[in-house]
Structure 1
Amino acid sequence: MASLVGPTETARAEGSAAKNAITHHAPRAKRVIQLFMNGGPFQADFFDPKPAINQFAGQRPKEVEFRTENKTGGLMPVPYPYRPRGESGLPVSDLLPQIGECIDDICVIRSLHCDNPNHGPALFQMNNGTITPTRPSMGSWMLYGLGSENADLPGYVVLCPGRPVRFAELWTSAFLPGEFQGTYINHTDLDPAKLLPNLRSADVSLTLAQQRRQLELLRRINAKHLEQHPDEPALEARIRSMETAFRMQFAASEAFDIRLEPETIREEYGKSHYAHGCLMARRLIERGVRFVQVYYGNGQPWDTHSNHDEQVKRLARDIDQPTAALLRDLKRRGLLEDTLVIWGGEFGRTSTTEGSNGRDHNHLGFTTWLAGGGVRGGTSYGATDDFAFRAVQDKVHVHDLHATILHLLGFNHEHLTYRHAGRDFRLTDVYGRVVSEILA
């Protein structure tokens, strides 16, 4: 149980946490699943067809002269054909045929851009709204505003079979109260005893009533200490975390155990770690968890600086079936209407070649997509140039994406604030506009 409480927070904050969910307007989404392709997928491989890349292969037109991270050569062809999918006819690469079947529920944003071409800063901006660390994550802001729907489970869960770059900094609550921090679960092993180590008391002879008395004694001691030190928000968060960890002994084992799913459902999702994460995410949001992030894998698996095409074929095979299964499953259960699904990475990649048939980072124009939760499915928004290098039409900054997500959850992003160190902070800092054109 102790491992679930998490490290002691040291932040000091002014103000108080949102005790009850009071949104600024009627929300279209109640919960979020974010499918994070850490490392950065190439936009023209999947949802942003650019025939000019192949037409001018090997050349280096002026549009791609700008250096992102490393020096690159000429245009490298994209060997995967596109075809129109669904009733909307939106083009999707043959690499993702099953996701293509779901395109009428998806809104593709082709003009996303961020401020830095390096993993750390870009990950921070996509997750925390700024290129520097120590700001609250998007999931923490969401939980702060909405609260949890299930007191027996964490409101914000992060699933990854390993550790993404920058690890816990990506789901930190920073100066928000510690109860809003993400709970990280390495879902490499599906056995709940290994998936959630130390969930049960080490002393198996203790009854539930005895554990409750122990926790109550500890709560009283901590509450007395809190009375003497009222400016210790970390202590209040720790008291609540211990209570959540106690209740999780009974709810979490069932919620996280995808082995309880019918075999037909497990087959529909597939057997990879990513597939297990998608299925686990559905089980969690079904049980009241507000925000679930599913990181594709350990480190930065989409960071294809060499042998790009072969790596992408493998990666695409791995995400196509589970992602489509998740969308279909949510829709069957009536959950897609008020669940926002987000897919993408921290940035895109260059259309020019790097090293041994690789692609470098590109933060100037890349793709993300949203599904469910109040967005217009079967549509695309924005555009990159002819070589998928820069966003040039209806540009969407990460701040705009965050503002739009918060809007769908019922919040005015300018008013969801927390006072810290003498100023009001928010996820979008002093920027951002709601991309109303993609709203249903």
Structure 2
Amino acid sequence: MTPVLSRRQALQSSAIGFGWLALADMLARAETANPLAPKGPHFEPKAKRVIFLFMHGGPSQVDTFDYKPKLTADDGKPLPFPKPRVVSSATGNLLGSPWKFQQHGQSGAWVSELFPHVAKNVDDLCFVKSMHGSNSRHGGALLELHTGSDTFVRPSMGSWVNYGLGTENRDLPGFITICPSLSHGGVNNFSSAFLPAIYQGTPLGNSGVPSDRANVPFIAGTTSREQQRREIDLLGEMDRERLAQLGPDPALEGRIESFEMAFRMQSAAPAVHDLTKETKETKALYGLDDPATANFGRQCLLARRFAEAGVRFIQCSHSYKWDQHENLKADHTKNAKEVDLPIAGLLTDLKRRGLLKDTLVLWGGEFGRTPVAQGKNGRDHNPHGFTMFLAGGGIKPGISYGATDEYGYYSVADKVHFHDLHATMLHLLGLNHLKLTYRHAGRDFRLTDVHGEVVKGILA
């Protein structure tokens, strides 16, 4: 009896099957390719990697780095111009900062007494005081900051960097996020969305886990490496047979790559995590000897170690603490205490190791806060004008760029949107944001979508 051939088998065995042979060759080459292999940039980069220090909740610009003497002078008076049409909730009169500001460094940058350690590094920093976004709610604002869109699920900026450049260490992911928040967008803030899954962020713990217990899930194998290698080889063989039968399947290909990466990480990741060989002086530099600073300090020290190991994008998150609708003075004081020394330690350590020159450090939250009071002693969300700072990686040091109005409510000079920040970050990494695209659902997508301009005024 002649066997009945399936349509797929018939195509393979007929002249039309030459197309199938081409597909099989493509799959074979894809099996040997490493999607995380280093890729050439569009032009000579200034930065090789990014460390993003994310302050979840929205630090107040007028209480940290955007000094507004007029706000102090007019404390308690009504705002002399209209408030935004769309606000988070009701606010009252102007609220002067309870902290004193001083100028620091040769640049004369104004810094509040909340950040005495960061103040010592101002000549390495570029303060962008004219940031603005499109969303006054945490969820939308976090997504816009991380992905460029506040309404749709899009790949995160770390995933775009990973996709565009690959990793310098094939045994580690190209994108690591330490203690990320699982609220206000959660995993969408570090997902690869429609980019191949291999480019998504690898979380170490989450915001509910102290950084000394944040690790890659299941990093400790329960069987020998030889046994695991045989198991993964068998799974890979079965999965590739499936691909040969059904054709390209991004989800299945992503699983194959994730198994291989997980196997390699079992040796590489624990070595990066091991802080026992760091000197006592270095641990103190990051604040690991103080319970108030140890948690975020360990994140920053791990970020430096992952940067040294070749990871392209590392995020440290101080979650979710900066949302002071009430108790501004007490809570901003506590928050700044937790991060000030570790941030300064990271900047100092990167600089002395020669890493700051090609590492872009970015600090900030999803928005700022209003110069008018909410309740008795709080501030509401403010996406219309706030401050972020950058350092290293081709950034012009010791400058302040842009400005808000005399009370710190709206960006009014050299405005910088999140799209512009993303375009500038990619530019420093040697990537043209207009050309870093991925075709999905019939159109080419990019991190900046149809927006974004490189902020040339902050480039060294």
Relative to the length of structure 2, the TM-score reads 0.88
User: Residue 17 of structure 1 contacts residue 177 of structure 1 at CA under 8 Å; is this kept in 2?
Assistant: no
| Cross-structure match for 2:124 | 105
| Cross-structure match for 1:402 | 422
Point out the structure with max Rg over C-alpha: 2
Q: Answer yes or no: is 1:37 the counterpart of 2:55.
A: yes
SS at match of 1:359: strand
Q: Matches of residues 23-422 of structure 1 in structure 2 within 5 Å?
A: 23-63=41-81, 65-66=83-84, 67-160=86-179, 163-186=182-205, 188-189=209-210, 195-202=215-222, 206-271=223-288, 272-297=294-319, 300-422=320-442
Cα distance, 1:257 vs. partner?
Answer: 2.3
% identical aligned pairs:
48
Q: Aligned equivalents of 2:280 and 2:204: distance in 1?
A: 23
Q: Aligned equivalents of 1:175 and 1:59: distance in 2?
A: 50
User: Residue 44 of structure 1 contacts residue 388 of structure 1 at CA under 8 Å; is this kept in 2?
Assistant: yes
Q: Aligned equivalents of 2:204 and 2:228: distance in 1?
A: 24
Q: Aligned equivalents of 2:439 and 2:205: distance in 1?
A: 33
Q: 1:30-71 CA distances to partner (integer Å, 9 max, x unpaired)?
A: 000000000000101111100111111111223352252111
Q: Aligned equivalents of 2:432 and 2:94: distance in 1?
A: 42
Cα distance, 1:277 vs. partner?
Answer: 0.5
Cα distance, 1:161 vs. partner?
Answer: 6.8
Q: Aligned equivalents of 1:200 and 1:320: distance in 2?
A: 33
Q: Which amino acid aligns with 1:404?
A: T
| Cross-structure match for 2:291 | none
Unaligned residue ranges in structure 2 (runs of 5+): 1-33, 289-293
Q: Aligned equivalents of 1:30 and 1:439: distance in 2?
A: 15
| Cross-structure match for 1:9 | none
Cα distance, 1:25 vs. partner?
Answer: 0.8
Q: Which amino acid aligns with 2:298?
A: H
Q: Which amino acid aligns with 2:158?
A: G
| Cross-structure match for 2:31 | none
Q: Aligned equivalents of 1:153 and 1:310: distance in 2?
A: 40
Cα distance, 1:17 vs. partner?
Answer: 6.6
Q: 1:197-248 CA distances to partner (integer Å, 9 max, x unpaired)?
A: 421223xxx4322221111111111111122233311111111110010011
Q: Which moved more, 1:61-70 or 1:372-381?
A: 61-70
Cα distance, 1:351 vs. partner?
Answer: 0.6
Unaligned residue ranges in structure 1 (runs of 5+): 1-15
Q: Aligned equivalents of 1:259 and 1:253: distance in 2?
A: 12
Q: 1:92-141 CA distances to partner (integer Å, 9 max, x unpaired)?
A: 11211110111111000000000010001100000000112310000000
Q: Which amino acid aligns with 1:430?
A: V
Q: 1:392-428 CA distances to partner (integer Å, 9 max, x unpaired)?
A: 0000111001000000000110110000001000000
SS at match of 1:102: helix
Q: Which amino acid aligns with 1:65?
A: K
User: Residue 47 of structure 1 contacts residue 91 of structure 1 at CA under 8 Å; is this kept in 2?
Assistant: yes
Q: Which runs of 4+ in 1 moved over 4 A?
A: 16-20, 189-192
User: Residue 31 of structure 1 contacts residue 339 of structure 1 at CA under 8 Å; is this kept in 2?
Assistant: yes
Q: Which amino acid aligns with 1:321?
A: L
Relative to the length of structure 1, the TM-score reads 0.92
Name the structure, 1 or 2, with higher relative contact order (CA <8 Å, separation 6+).
1
| Cross-structure match for 2:3 | none
SS at match of 1:109: strand
Q: Which amino acid aligns with 1:364?
A: H
Cα distance, 1:165 vs. partner?
Answer: 2.8
User: Residue 70 of structure 1 contacts residue 360 of structure 1 at CA under 8 Å; is this kept in 2?
Assistant: yes
| Cross-structure match for 1:6 | none
Q: Which amino acid aligns with 2:243?
A: L
User: Residue 180 of structure 2 contacts residue 203 of structure 2 at CA under 8 Å; is this kept in 1?
Assistant: no
Q: Which amino acid aligns with 1:109?
A: V
Cα distance, 1:191 vs. partner?
Answer: 6.0
| Cross-structure match for 2:12 | none
Q: Aligned equivalents of 1:395 and 1:197: distance in 2?
A: 41
